[in-house]
Amino acid sequence: MSPPAIATTTKTLNTGAEIPVIALGTWESAPDDAYKAVLAALKDGYRHIDTAWIYGNEVPVGKAIREAGVPREEIFVTTKLWLDNFHDPAKGLETSLKNLGLDYVDLYLMHWPFALDENGKVDSTIDFVKGYANMQKLDKSKAKAIGVSNFDIKNLTTLLEAESTTTVPATNQVELHVKLPQQKLIDFCHSNGIVVEAYSPLGRGDLDNEVLESIAKKHNTGVANVVISWGIFRDTVVLPKSVTPARIKSNLDYIKLDADDINTINEIHIKEGTRRHCNFGKDKGVTVFHADEN
Ligand code: A2P
């Protein structure tokens, strides 16, 4: 029996809402490409689209969502609060909703755990705890769930232990792939009822790997399908990005990996080394991933 289609398989958020376990990622998708990619994805059966204000593509992403012919309530839409709106997340949300042309998003994430001022410099007048406290006051009819992104265990612990935190983040969206599996972070999130979302699940297209190729060959599938299936097996929501119609479609082909495959994939980062592609905090002089940098 073939496994259920991953496009329609969901996990339950701590709000009770269902989140499809696979989404189309749109980071670095140029506006016109993003528009076409979202239209193609929704036609292929995706029901989860991930964007962010900083990606600069909310307008075409929203246009495609509105034009795809799929009822809005069947699509799970995520966007993210940029760091210059920690003082007033409602303003950031309004801007994003206007860009998207939508009345609400299903999930609104704090994009990184530090604030920036209007000049792009670190804003030390507000931290992520206060910024998140402000997010908790958002109109729930406009942001159905709130969560965080790029939080490590240290920052999540600080957030969860803060007196002002009354809403546990619904998700933590982080970079996760075979070279950066972060199992301890996943376990920590799960033990706190936080769904983990994997961005760059394909290692940003770094799929040229003999170990993965042999597993793909064994299952008569592609390397991307192997790593997406591994991400789903790990109980994470995966957000592969593509602007290529054939890849968007084929990334929905899920396979059932066996225990040997899983063990082999789990060891890739030990044998080949870890790799983090995105550390915007470091670029700004802020330590965001403490275990990496201490
Ligand atoms: P493209 O968008 O040109 O199709 P990640 O999701 O880890 O950030 O990876 C995104 C990168 O992986 C993009 O360069 C994307 O290229 C590429 N990609 C997406 N799907 C596949 C696939 N099935 N096979 C190979 N490369 C892929």
Q: What is the pLDDT of residue 7?
A: 87
| C-alpha closest to that of 237 among 167, 169, 176, 193 | 176
Dig out the tokens for 102 from the structure. Answer: 């939508």
CA 37 remoteness from chain centre:
17
**CA 45 – CA 229 distance, rounded (Å):** 17
Query: For ligand 1, is residue 205 a contact (CB within 6 Å)?
Result: yes
| Atom number in ligand 1 closest to CA 247 | 23
Q: What is the pLDDT of residue 5?
A: 82
| C-alpha closest to that of 229 among 270, 206, 201, 268 | 201
Let me know: does 35 contact 50? Beta carbons within 8 Å: no
> Whose Cα sits closest to atom 21 in ligand 1?
247
pLDDT tens over the chain, length 294 residues: 454 588 889 999 999 999 999 999 999 999 999 999 999 999 999 999 999 999 999 999 999 999 999 999 999 999 999 999 999 999 999 999 999 999 999 999 999 999 999 999 999 999 999 999 999 999 999 999 999 999 999 999 999 999 999 999 999 999 999 999 999 999 999 999 999 999 999 999 999 999 999 999 999 999 999 999 999 999 999 999 999 999 999 999 999 999 999 999 999 999 999 999 999 999 899 999 998 754
Q: How far is CA 81 from each of CA 32, 148, 209, 226, rounded to the nearest angstrom?
A: 22, 9, 35, 32
Ligand 1 centroid to Cα of residue 203, in Å, is 9
Out of 35, 46, 55, 199, the active site residue is 55
Quickly count: other Cβ atoms within 10 Å of residue 169's Cβ.
28
Ligand 1 centroid to Cα of residue 177, in Å, is 13
Residue 17 CB-half CA count within 13 A: 21
To 10 degrees, what angle do helices 223-233 and 210-218 make? 90
Among 48, 241, 253, 276, name the best residue to mutate to test ligand 1's pocket (greatest count of ligand atoms within 8 A of Cβ). 241
Instruction: Give the torsion sign (CA, 128, 133, 136, 142).
Output: negative
Tell me the residue type at 141: S
